[in-house]
Amino acid sequence: MSLTKNTLLSLTLGSLLLLGLSGCARKNEGNFIGKERVVLKEHKSFQEGKFLKVTATFENEDDTEVEGMVYQVQWLDSRGIMVDQTSWKPFTIIGKQQIHVVDMASRPDVTNYRIIISTPNK
């Protein structure tokens, strides 16, 4: 009786933990390293043959500052494990300008992505 109770309790706790963890998982979101001086305006993905393709738009909302920064796309498989990543790609964006970037995974097991933007210290 006590054993069943304990099993039920651990099962419930385990399920709650799993739910909590899945709630923490961030899907398809931009992450910023440093100050957020450029906005990730929009991003979407679609399947190009066997590979996942991502388009993203960055915008410099400031109309005077010229910003130089780098971004990276991390490629995740269905389990959320990072299986590949692009190099940090530099770009310069003038005031009020939008920049569109396209990246494609080169592995068929990629199902999700994460965009990371890093800004230099000023």
Partner 1 sequence: MTTFRKLSLTTTLVLSSFLMSGCATGGAGMVGSSSNVKYGDAKAAETVTADFGSTDLQSTAETLTQSLLESRYIAKAQKPPKVRLRAVNNLTYEHIDTKAITDKIRIKLLKSGQVRFLADTANLNQVNSERDLTTAATTKTKMKAMTDSDYIITGNVRSIKKANDDVKDVYYNVSMELVDPQSGEILWADEKEIRKVTAKSSVGW
Contact flag: residue 45 with partner 1 (CB under 8 A): no
CA distance 41 to 38: 9
d(C-alpha 75, C-alpha 52), whole Å? 9
Given candidates 40, 41, 57, 72, which one binds partner 1 under the rule CB under 8 A?
A: 72
Give the CA count within 13 Å in the CB-facing half-sphere of 85.
12
Q: Which is nearer to partner 1, 7 or 44 (CB)?
A: 44
d(CA 88, CA 38): 16
Residue 64 touching partner 1 (CB under 8 A): no
By CB under 8 A, tell whether 85 contacts partner 1. yes
* Contacting residues toward partner 1, per CB under 8 A: 48-51, 66, 68, 70, 72, 84-90, 92, 103-104, 106-108, 120
